[in-house]
Amino acid sequence: MADMIVLLRQVPDLVEELELNDDSTDVEREFMKFVLSEWDDYALEEALLVKEASQGSVTVVALDDPDVDQVLYTALAKGADKAVKLTGSEEGWIDSHQRARTIASWMRNQTYDLVLTGVQSVEDIDGQVGMLLAQELQHPHVSVVVSVETKNGSARVTQEFGGGRFSELDVQLPAVLGIQQSRQAPRYAPISRVRQAQQAGGLEEVPTEVSGGSGLTVRRLYAPESTDHAEMLEGSADEVADKIIELLRSRGLIK
Amino acid sequence: MASDVLVLVEHIDSELTDTSYELVGKAKDLAGGWNGEAVALALGSVDTSELAADRVLKMAHPSLDNYTPEAWLEALHAVVQERDPKLVLIANSTVGMDLGAGLSGRWGKPIAAYASAITGEDQDVVVTSQVFGGKLLAEAVIDGGQGVCTVIAGSFPGEAGKGGGATVEDLTPPAALGESRTSFVTTIEPEGGDVDITESPLLVSIGRGIESEDNIELAQEFADAIGAAVSASRPITDAGWLPKTRQVGKSGMKVKPKAYLTFGISGAPEHLEGMRDSDLIVACNIDENAPIFDIAHFGTTTDLFDLLPALTEKVK
Ligand SMILES: Cc1cc2nc3c(=O)[nH]c(=O)nc-3n(C[C@H](O)[C@H](O)[C@H](O)COP(=O)(O)OP(=O)(O)OC[C@H]3O[C@@H](n4cnc5c(N)ncnc54)[C@H](O)[C@@H]3O)c2cc1C
Ligand SMILES: Nc1ncnc2c1ncn2[C@@H]1O[C@H](COP(=O)(O)O)[C@@H](O)[C@H]1O
């Protein structure tokens, strides 16, 4: 049995063009499209798999990021038991250290065995929230986890290294895990069920105070001004294909 | 605060990783500017004779032999407390993802993650990080000039960290190492059996742009026509569309083929780590701002669904 907390975070959708704000210290978030950080989807799936295997519960928690209600209701539709939105961070973007502090302040009053977060997000320049949270709460933590199994107060986790190497670790609970991948592809929640969840409501809103800070001052963001940007091959698909074949032929790589 | 730059080195089967040398090389460069030392910390059993650090600190303890985040963080934190370095460098590997933010939280100093460049401006530490999947770079200053930095593999030359000659010091492990709540069970080694993409001189590499498992055939046909193997970015192997052995990147294989041809790969830093040294890189991606074009030699914004069949047709 494990009572689990899964942390969910909205991030800018990288499919869209990223505009910079006036002083180029952040992306322009005003009209941006946000999506659930892809690794959080794995974290939720892994938690649901653990719950199915050994009972327990799944609580999803998010700070008040843009369009986050939808994400929380989707998690409920997938099988999460409870959804919590930590408000008080509406003032705009906050860094990982602030996120970790804020989430920790709520967690100190909760009971849980396991915290699952996404392994990273695309904008955590001051480090990953999960590992910072573990320090705040003095829990052991493991990052880059690809499978979780719980038994008698501990979790057996598989941690991934590069090149197909993994190791298995046993961690005493409570612990924080950074999830890289779930054992199965994340399940899909039919839109009708998401709507049902929305109609049922039941999003718990908890006011929190944001404190702390990263100690990092971002001077500027910029697109890589590459001096060796690729030479672009122009023309129709046919013409481009000819050019690529020629590149390979001239190097003697194909006949 | 001392002026030293401390590098946590990593090892596989008692051999140092390439990135360890890269970081030590960078540490020498930075520490030189601050009149400090480049100090390498080696936990567990590892051959450090080739490291060109000024000083190598060694710590041995049964709970450090096999990596666990908790014991390594305990050891690293103890050394950092004791020696008060200006900057701590860790690779942005699995170990770095555990310990970078972990150390920042524990030590109470800032961290700059995903670094690809670090410079000293007087006493300031200025870090350039790859964010938003490599679409943007962030230039940030570590307030107070003291903190942690996790560094993307391949950012600095490894040669500068090689040559040996360090003073070696053996450290006493902190007592708390005995109280770890995390225990090592076993290591799982890579599976063989499938095509070895590290041996293939030609790779046709596909990413999420391929959209579905069925479409992989398009890439396979072209690969067959030119005698290449098919490799992929992580989402493709995560989805189970290709075996894990075909994955290129930070958590996949490092490849260096004569030609690496990508179709529908954005060029996230984690992917680039595995293929940046290929002799020839040709990228196909409909997004002209995709970071893959900053590393490719040639590129095209042609739709892969038009280009792959055209390529196959031409070779046949
Ligand atoms: C700890 C960790 C380790 C990781 N290790 C690895 C690793 O080893 N290897 C790896 O690859 N990733 C790794 N990743 C994941 C990495 O961060 C990226 O998520 C991943 O590389 C993105 O893969 P992609 O480029 O295929 O997909 P996306 O980033 O989604 O890019 C798809 C691209 O396809 C293009 N496209 C879409 N349709 C078409 C079309 N019709 N024609 C042409 N182009 C099209 C799009 O413009 C887009 O740029 C790791 C992540 C973490 C956190
Ligand atoms: N605002 C947030 N609300 C809830 N969880 C978060 C938030 N920010 C980060 N997390 C969690 O921490 C993980 C790592 O994010 P990051 O720290 O941005 O790398 C995310 O995948 C989430 O699981």
Q: Could you tell me the residue ranges of all domains in chain A?
A: 3-207
**Residues A240, B307: C-beta atoms closer than 8 Å:** yes
| Cα B209 to ligand 1 centroid, rounded to whole Å | 8
Q: Provide the percentage of residues in chain B whose pLDDT is more than 90.
A: 94
Output the CA B190–ligand 2 centroid distance in Å.
30
Q: Do B300 and A135 touch (CB under 8 A)?
A: no
Give me the DSSP letters along B206-242: E-GGG-SGGGHHHHHHHHHHHT-EEEE-HHHHHTTSS
Residue A90 is predicted with a pLDDT of 67
Classify domain A3-207 by CATH number: 3.40.50.620
**The token pair that represents A193 in the structure block:** 């069920």
Class of domain B197-315: alpha beta
- Whether ligand 2 lies within 6 angstroms of the CB of A95 is answered as no
Look at residue B194 in the predicted model and tell me its pLDDT. Answer: 78
Q: Is B49 on the interface with A (CB under 8 A)?
A: no
Domain ranges of chain B: 5-179, 197-315
Residue burial A23-57, b: 16+ Cβ < 10 Å; e: rest: ebebbeeeebebbbbbbbbbbbbbbbbbbeeeebb
- φ, ψ at B295 (rounded to 5°): -120, -20
The protein residue whose alpha carbon is closest to atom 39 in ligand 1 is: B209
B135–A241 CB contact, under 8 Å: no
Q: Nearest-CA residue of chain A relative to B101?
A: A127
Q: Give A116 Cα–ligand 2 centroid separation in angstroms.
A: 10
Domain B5-179 indexed as CATH 3.30.70.100: no
Q: Are B20 and B4 a contacting pair, CB within 8 Å?
A: no
Contact between residue B110 and residue A215 where contact means Cβ atoms under 8 Å apart: yes
Cβ contacts below 8 Å, chain A against chain B, sum to: 270
Atom of ligand 1 at shortest range from CA of A120: 53
Half-sphere exposure of A46 (CA within 13 A, CB side): 32
Each residue's pLDDT tens digit, B83-138 = 999 999 999 999 999 999 999 999 999 999 999 999 999 999 999 999 999 999 99
Tell me the pLDDT tens digit for each residue of B144-167: 999 999 999 999 999 999 999 999
How confident is the model over A53-58, as a mean pLDDT? 95
Subunit contact B307:A241, Cβ cutoff 8 A: yes
pLDDT recorded at residue A139: 98
With a cut of 90, say whether residue A255 has pLDDT above it: no
Residue B202 pLDDT level (bands cut at 50, 70, 90): very high
| DSSP secondary structure code for residue B259 in this structure | E
Ligand 2 contact, A130 CB (< 6 A)? yes
* Percent of chain A whose pLDDT exceeds 90: 87
Nearest atom, ligand 2, residue B101 CA: 17
- Of ligand 2's atoms, which has the minimum distance to the CA of residue A65? 1
Average pLDDT over residues A202-221: 93
This model's pTM is above 0.95:
no
* Whether A144 and B97 lie within 8 Å, measured CB to CB: yes
Give me the residues paired with residue B115 across strands: B129, B151
